[in-house]
Amino acid sequence: MEEVIINKVSASALITLDLEMFYPKEETVIFDLKDHLFMGLILKEKDYRDGLKAIDFAKYKNKNVCITCTADAVIPMWAYMLAATKLEPFATEVLFGDEQFMRNTLFLRNLSKINPEEYADKRVVIKGCGDKAIPETAYVEITRLLRPVVKSIMYGEPCSTVPIYKKV
């Protein structure tokens, strides 16, 4: 008689949660105030305002934009605010910081839309491998959101998990 092979992983009550589903979809670009500095050191208000008028901000449409200054210069706060007012009508998201800060912020925002009660008393595996780099903040946040309601949290793949939390 032939032995039947049973896939115990697919038959289990495990729920796999792939954090790639919450990865920001839009392209992220940098708006660097360094490009508007006089001699790479000083921001002159009139020149800066004129420079902003010359930019076609439509090129930022549907993109996440990080406002920053990569030059070692003192930038007045209003300069960042002025850039934000020009970018906001076009960009999907405008934040101060770098691409990593943007990715972390948007991950947290996307994860906040999860209803933890949907996972109440479930065994959840947080998928560990994928095509995109998932920031540590996302793993910490999903753990924080789910721990109060789930039966258990594991990390990895359903066939090979690392236990993270188990309700006692």
pLDDT at 1: 60
pLDDT at 82: 98
Give domain limits for the chain.
8-24+107-166, 28-91
Q: Are 139 and 110 a contacting pair, CB within 8 Å?
A: no
Beta strand 123-127 with 14-17 is parallel
Q: Are 146 and 154 a contacting pair, CB within 8 Å?
A: no
Mean pLDDT in consecutive groups of 10 residues from the start of the chain, 168 residues: 54 84 93 94 94 97 97 94 98 96 94 96 92 92 97 92 93
Both tokens of 51, joined, read 């420079």
